[in-house]
Structure 1
Amino acid sequence: MFLAKIYVTYKPSILDPQGEVIKSALHRLDYTDVNSVMQGKYFEIKLEAKDQRTAAKEIEEFSDELLINVNMETFTYKLSEISSVEE
């Protein structure tokens, strides 16, 4: 069994409106040293696959198909093998 930790963010060329709002709020709270804020989505998905390569392929496929807007967002992930006892 594998655990995928998937991080979704806007592509660098896309304005992150929520990140900008958060940055402005931090500046109003006198955290003026904050340069930028990137807001995103986070998923933890457990999957059973025969090996790590197969799990990675599935993650890449379903992330592109369902979890992200391919025009505006990108993703990275960390994949680790877990025992079924950790459920």
Structure 2
Amino acid sequence: MARVVVDVMLKPEILDPQGQAVQRALPRLGFQGISDVRQGKRFELEVDGPVDEAALARIHDLAESFLANTVIEDFTIRVEEVAEAAK
């Protein structure tokens, strides 16, 4: 079994009010030197069998059609190492 991670983030040109709220709160909480915060979503998919090009293509289709709103969001897909997936 392998883990595939899909990270979904608002496109840079899209306003991120949740990220802005976090960024404004950081100085009050004692965190200095952070100039921008963007909030996104992370999906961890446990995949039965090998993560080959066909499996990644299916996951890409899943991300594009269901996990992300591609009008306002971008996504990245990566395979985590087996040692990380075992944790």
Distance 1:54 1:75 in 2: 18
- TM-score normalised to structure 2 length: 0.81
Distance 1:34 1:47 in 2: 36
For residues 18-64 of structure 1, what are the alpha-carbon distances to aligned partners after superposition, in whole Å with 9 as ceiling and x for unaligned?
10000000022242311111111111112235651011101110001
CA contact (8 A) 2:2 2:50 kept: no
Report matched runs for 1:2-81 at 5 Å.
2-48=2-48, 51-80=51-80
For residues 56-77 of structure 1, what are the alpha-carbon distances to aligned partners after superposition, in whole Å with 9 as ceiling and x for unaligned?
1011100011001111111112
Structure 2 gaps, min length 5? none
Poorly superposed stretches of 4+, deviation over 2 Å: 27-32, 47-51
- TM-score normalised to structure 1 length: 0.81
Two-structure CA RMSD over aligned residues (Å): 1.9
- The CA deviation at 1:80 is 4.4
After TM superposition, the structure 1 stretch with the greater mean CA deviation from structure 2, 25-34 or 59-68, is 25-34
Structure 1 gaps, min length 5? none
Change (3 A) 1:61 1:49: farther
The amino acid of 1:65's aligned partner reads S
The amino acid of 2:75's aligned partner reads F
Distance 1:49 1:62 in 2: 17
